[in-house]
Amino acid sequence: MEKYVIHGGQPLHGQVEISGAKNAAVAIIPAALMVRGVCRLENLPEISDTDTLLRIMTFLGARVTMINRSTVELDCTHVQMDTLPSQMWDMTRRIRASYYLIGAMLGRFGRARSTMPGGCNFGVRPIDQHIKGLTALGADVRTSGGFINASAAGGRLKGGSVYLDKVSVGATINIMIAAATAEGRTVIENVAREPHIVDLANFLNSMGADVRGAGTDVIKIRGVKSLHGGTYALIPDQIEAGTFMAAVAAAGGSVKVANVIPKHLDCISTKLREMNVEVEDGDDYVLVRRDGPLHPTNVKTKPYPGFPTDMQPQMTVLLCSAPGVSVMTEGVWNGGRFKYVAELKKMGANIEVDDQSAFIQGVDRLTGATVRACDLRAGAAMVIAGLAAQGVTKVEDVVFIERGYQDIVGKLRALGADIACVDEPEERPAEESAG
């Protein structure tokens, strides 16, 4: 069982290059299914979620050619499958973004069948808004027995209007992909505005689509007959950048976080400054420095441009070391997304969770312990806690972290962190690890 072993207390110094955005990649790879021609994707992150999706695309009949570590050519011209075969179910159940294959297959073939998606467990993750949107485009969508079946009346989707009752990244993306080649005009209101929504729109447009308004709360799409090949470079990962910023703030030191779009980090930078962390914006980098004590603050997660829910655990770790009381409120996921707090408590954190909020009383210093990565971002938060803690921290279940962070261990080591990935047996009590 691979785990990360961290000897805490080393400040971070130097420069880290941020990889391409995971959540853009996992939308754009399935969207390439809509394209008859070669899509060359650049700045793709080397993470297990993109690897899984590329394997699924290969299985569906796409020609996938790795040009280098961050560039891939995807040719879906001859893909004919509108059903995810059973050999793929294990993979589609593992990742959230597999549901974008439904929008893409439906848009391309007028039919789609796949498993319900997987992904991080934040409690209930409904897909009613996806269904509402695809239905507005004329699809008959049914879910049963863990599968999604969808078909377009007459074999081709038709443009339509949909108002999302909940701002949903996934539903916005799925409907955008499906509508790109639907007949006529689609209007989606109350959409998500995350940077990767804009990235997907730019990708689709560079392949011949007509998508307008991405980044605002209304997206208008004029369906085109077909999409053609082209080259597209993905944006840098907002959350990976934020994670490294939080790591510097937690461990202390001074780091240039490079290959970022500072505007995408505004909300994170502002909160860090409130906490007595220096953040200086460059053209495509931010300089982060912390040498004084952290100050407490309150944070509430919201859809973009609000504070990202995917930075919530990392920020909570930071607040653990800020003397005084801070409150972290989860405003996106019902159920709080606070499972990782139990792990942080093993490191001496003083946190009480009540419904959607965590009340954090800062402690002098966290202490090393063996903890689990409960999910992708919670796992990154445990790494940050380990960097700040006194003593040795072992983070288990790192497969979750590797779903979304390219070489996190190598990048942190290059900044001076004492972290290694080792293969050791689990340390959980027998009854917990059984089965």
Catalytic positions are 120
Binding mask 190-209 for ligand UD1 (x = CB under 6 A): --x-----------------
In whole angstroms, the minimum distance from the beta carbon of 414 to ligand UD1 comes to 26
Interaction between residue 299 and ligand UD1 (CB under 6 A)? no
Report which residue's Cβ sits closest to ligand UD1: 170
Cβ–Cβ < 8 Å for 197, 172: yes
When the beta carbons of 23 and 393 are compared against ligand UD1, the nearer one is 23
Q: Would you call the peptide bond into 305 cis, given omega within 30 degrees of 0 as the criterion? A: yes
Residues 105, 127, 299, 374: which binds ligand UD1 (CB under 6 A)? 127
Contact predicate 235/20, CB 8 Å: yes
Q: CA-to-CA distance for 27 and 100, rounded, in angstroms?
A: 7
Which of residues 102, 171, 251, 311 is near ligand UD1 by CB under 6 A?
Answer: 171
- What are the structure tokens assigned to 380, written together? 């990154």
As a whole number of angstroms, the distance between CA 393 and CA 7 comes to 7
What gap in Å lies between CA 150 and CA 93, rounded to an integer?
17
Can residue 166 be called a binding residue for ligand UD1 (CB under 6 A)? Answer: yes
Residue (23 or 259) nearer to ligand UD1, CB: 23
378: contact with ligand UD1 by CB under 6 A: no
Q: x/- site string to ligand UD1, residues 305 to 344, per CB under 6 A?
A: ----xx---------------------xxx----------
* Stretch of 74-82, 120-128, 243-251, 254-262 lying at the interface with ligand UD1 (CB under 6 A): 120-128
Secondary structure E strands in 240-356:
253-258, 278-281, 285-290, 298-300, 325-329, 350-354
User: From the CB of 130, what's the least distance to ligand UD1, in Å?
Assistant: 5
Closest to ligand UD1 by CB, 129 or 393: 129
Provide the minimum distance between the beta carbon of 200 and ligand UD1 in the complex, in angstroms, as a whole number.
10
> Least Å distance between CB 216 and ligand UD1?
17
Task: Give the shortest CB-405-to-ligand UD1 separation in angstroms.
Answer: 13
128 makes contact with ligand UD1 (CB under 6 A): yes
The C-alpha atoms of residue 172 and residue 129 are separated, in whole angstroms, by: 9
Instruction: Pick out residues in 67-96 that bind ligand UD1 (CB under 6 A).
Output: 96
- Which listed range, 165-173, 176-184, 213-221, 284-292, lies at the site for ligand UD1 (CB under 6 A)? 165-173
Of the two residues 135 and 254, which places its CB atom closer to ligand UD1 in the complex?
135
242-to-76, 129, 246, 333 alpha-carbon distances in Å? 34, 28, 6, 19
Strand partners of residue 183: 158
Give the whole-angstrom CA distance, residue 29 versus residue 15: 29
- Considering only 9-17, 125-133, 264-272, 365-373, which stretch makes contact with ligand UD1 by CB under 6 A? 125-133
Reduce the DSSP state of residue 72 to 3 states and report it. strand
23 sits near ligand UD1 (criterion: CB under 6 A): yes
Contacts 24+ apart (CB under 8 A), 277-286: 277/245, 277/248, 277/249, 279/245, 282/256, 284/258, 284/259, 284/260, 285/256, 285/257, 285/258, 285/259, 285/260, 286/241, 286/245, 286/256, 286/257, 286/260, 286/262
Locus of tokens 């707090």 = 341
Give residues in contact with ligand UD1 (CB under 6 A). Answer: 23, 26, 96-97, 125-130, 166, 168-171, 192, 309-310, 332-334
